[in-house]
């Protein structure tokens, strides 16, 4: 099956440059300074003019009032964010290191945003050891101080995904996010993808998740740059806006102390663009949950645990705790823990260190494990710790849940001679009944696997 998404030599000439990380100090609306402190690579492209393919070597040349591109696309920008007019009641929030709603940090519940990319060892992360009435060792769900189960966000792609597993995760109250259908390499494909290509990837993935895992499309609210946190510029956010996505979590802030809170893209994006193209225009109501990077050894930084220095015997507990304290002891901005399978495999101490940290956090009465959507719910309605027990979006376990838990029968759908990008080969797709195996392997453009003429 041809996916209709191929890379050609001519197309590659138009792509946005992937570049080395930059060094600059960026003043943001008088609120704070971000000290990047990473050497700038000489001659690297930060913004590619669409009109003629020319390159701007300094991202500061965008939105500076001077048209450097032939058609002025470097100045097609949102306005600066004014905290006096960008109000939470209007689903608008400026980039800031200060807690929203005028709260003091001590009154802010410290959010931990556990998020995964594809399947990971599930049970030990969101459960803990206990004993039953007979003293037998059992595992029970990890709980927040309000008594509800800890939740997280699971980002999935389509290929190699077990949809029965996705349904199980969803039924337990976790959030499902999208990594697109194809998640294809090279990542530069996503930098140059059109709005229509982004639309097919994101809207089609929602259809896949609904059909084969029973996920309500309205509950799929977030996406992440695919892959390697590659941002897709205006085209990505146009597709997100058209398909009801509430947030993106792809853009890194690199090291900053204190860290950054989630913000909306109603106005000019003031964070340095590390994996261009980043959006320049206004995208009202779409949130960015920034990747506040980890401070690693020897002054290096990393976006997720799997990209940090990974000796086999590393003390991961201390590493995670030190980075957590950079949030908890300053402004209490949400602390992300992004997990991939390769991290668990690469270090013998990784899983043990993570569980030690999570077990310790579960004993604290001001720390909550929430999904990214729940974090945005709190940002829209900042509720102090003294009243957090009555905050409805986090008390989800007290409300009836319209999430079907049944997946008694798992169908295994096998396809041979699959010819789409990236690796033509056999594919196996596990789905929840009552869905039936589609006649052809679902892919971009035919997300339900319908035969030509049926879609």
Taking all residues of the chain, what is their mean pLDDT, rounded to a whole number?
Answer: 84
* Residue 272 in this model has a pLDDT that exceeds 80: no
62-71, 119-128, 288-297: range with lowest mean pLDDT: 119-128
* Residue 168 in this model has a pLDDT that exceeds 80: yes
Mean pLDDT of 48-71: 83
What are 95-145's pLDDT values in tens digits?
A: 999 999 999 999 999 999 999 998 776 567 998 888 888 888 888 889 999
Mean pLDDT of 275-294: 91
* Residue 372 in this model has a pLDDT that exceeds 60: yes
Query: Any idea of the CA torsion for 283, 285, 286, 291, to the nearest 10 degrees?
Result: 110
Mean pLDDT of 220-234: 88
* Residue 376 in this model has a pLDDT that exceeds 90: yes
Spell out a b/e string for 264-274, using b for 16 or more CB atoms within 10 Å of the CB, else e.
bbbbbbbbbbb
CATH 3.20.20.370 fits 79-398, yes or no: yes
pLDDT of residue 20: 29
432 vs 411: CA distance, rounded Å: 6
Is residue 123 classed exposed, middle or buried when 0-12, 13-18 and 19+ CB atoms within 10 A define those classes? exposed
Q: Where are the domains of the chain?
A: 79-398
DSSP of 343-371: HHHH-TTHHHHHHHHHHHHTT-TTEEE--
Q: How confident is the model at residue 32 (pLDDT cuts 50, 70, 90)?
A: very low
* Residue 4 in this model has a pLDDT that exceeds 60: no
Please check whether residue 264 is in contact with residue 82, taking contact to mean a CB–CB distance below 8 angstroms. Answer: no
Q: Give percent above pLDDT 90 in the chain.
A: 53
Q: How confident is the model at residue 21 (pLDDT cuts 50, 70, 90)?
A: very low
Higher-confidence position of 123 and 306: 306
Q: What is the chain's alpha carbon radius of gyration, rounded to the nearest angstrom?
A: 22
116-130, 132-146, 223-237, 292-306: range with lowest mean pLDDT: 116-130
402 vs 383: CA distance, rounded Å: 26
Please check whether residue 365 is in contact with residue 329, taking contact to mean a CB–CB distance below 8 angstroms. Answer: no
Of 71-85, 129-143, 401-415, which has the strongest mean pLDDT? 71-85
Q: For residue 186, is the peptide bond before it cis, meaning its omega torsion is within 30 degrees of 0?
A: yes
* Residue 34 in this model has a pLDDT that exceeds 70: no
Going 120 to 130 to 354 to 387, the CA torsion angle's sign is positive
Mean pLDDT of 311-320: 88
Mean pLDDT of 371-392: 97
Higher-confidence position of 80 and 153: 153
User: Among residues 258, 230, 250, 327, which one has the least CA distance to residue 35?
Assistant: 258
44 vs 200: CA distance, rounded Å: 31
pTM: 0.87
pLDDT of residue 62: 84
Mean pLDDT of 17-32: 30
Going 376 to 381 to 384 to 387, the CA torsion angle's sign is negative
pLDDT of residue 452: 79
Q: Is 372 left (phi over 0), alpha (psi -120 to 50) or beta?
A: alpha
Q: How confident is the model at residue 50 (pLDDT cuts 50, 70, 90)?
A: confident
pLDDT of residue 421: 60
239 vs 418: CA distance, rounded Å: 27
What are 320-367's pLDDT values in tens digits?
A: 999 999 999 999 999 999 998 888 887 888 999 999 999 999 999 999
pLDDT of residue 311: 74
pLDDT of residue 29: 31
What are 430-450's pLDDT values in tens digits?
A: 998 777 899 999 999 999 998
């Amino acid at each position: 099956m041809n996916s209709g998404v191929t890379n050609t030599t001519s197309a590659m000439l138009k792509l946005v440059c992937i570049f080395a990380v930059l060094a600059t100090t960026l003043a943001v609306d008088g609120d704070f300074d971000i000290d990047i402190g990473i050497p700038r690579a000489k001659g690297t492209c930060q913004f590619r003019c669409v009109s003629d393919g020319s390159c701007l070597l300094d991202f500061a040349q965008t939105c500076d009032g001077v048209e450097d591109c032939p058609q002025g696309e470097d100045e097609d920008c949102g306005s600066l964010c004014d905290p006096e007019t960008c109000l939470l009641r209007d689903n608008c929030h400026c980039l800031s290191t200060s807690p929203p709603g005028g709260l003091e940090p001590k009154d802010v519940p410290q959010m931990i945003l556990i998020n995964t990319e594809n399947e990971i060892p599930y049970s030990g992360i969101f459960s803990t050891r206990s004993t039953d009435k007979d003293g037998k060792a059992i595992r029970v769900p990890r709980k927040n101080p309000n008594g509800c189960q800890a939740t997280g966000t699971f980002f999935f792609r389509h290929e190699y995904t077990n949809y029965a597993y996705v349904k199980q995760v969803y039924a337990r109250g976790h959030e499902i996010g999208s990594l697109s259908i194809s998640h294809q390499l090279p990542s530069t494909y996503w930098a140059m993808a059109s709005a229509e290509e982004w639309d097919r990837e994101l809207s089609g993935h929602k259809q896949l998740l609904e059909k084969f895992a029973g996920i309500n499309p309205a509950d799929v609210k977030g996406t992440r740059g695919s892959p390697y946190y590659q941002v897709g510029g205006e085209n990505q956010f146009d597709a997100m806006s058209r398909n009801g996505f509430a947030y993106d979590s792809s853009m890194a802030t690199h090291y900053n102390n204190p860290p950054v809170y989630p913000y909306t893209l109603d106005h000019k994006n003031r964070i340095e663009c590390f994996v261009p193209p980043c959006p320049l225009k206004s995208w009202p109501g779409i949130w960015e949950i920034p990747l506040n990077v980890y401070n690693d050894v020897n002054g290096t930084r990393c976006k997720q645990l799997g990209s940090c220095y990974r000796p086999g015997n590393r003390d991961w507990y201390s590493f995670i705790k030190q980075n957590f304290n950079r949030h908890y002891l300053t402004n209490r901005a949400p602390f992300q823990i992004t997990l991939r399978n390769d991290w668990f495999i690469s270090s013998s101490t990784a899983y043990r260190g993570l569980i030690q940290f999570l077990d310790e956090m579960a004993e604290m009465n001001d720390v909550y494990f929430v999904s990214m959507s729940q974090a945005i719910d709190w940002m829209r309605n900042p509720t102090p710790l003294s009243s957090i027990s009555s905050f409805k979006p986090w008390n989800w376990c007290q409300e009836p849940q319209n999430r079907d838990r049944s997946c008694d029968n798992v169908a295994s759908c096998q396809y041979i001679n699959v010819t789409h990008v990236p690796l033509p080969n056999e594919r196996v797709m596990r789905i929840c009944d009552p869905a039936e195996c589609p006649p052809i392997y679902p892919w971009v453009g035919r997300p339900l696997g319908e035969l030509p003429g049926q879609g």
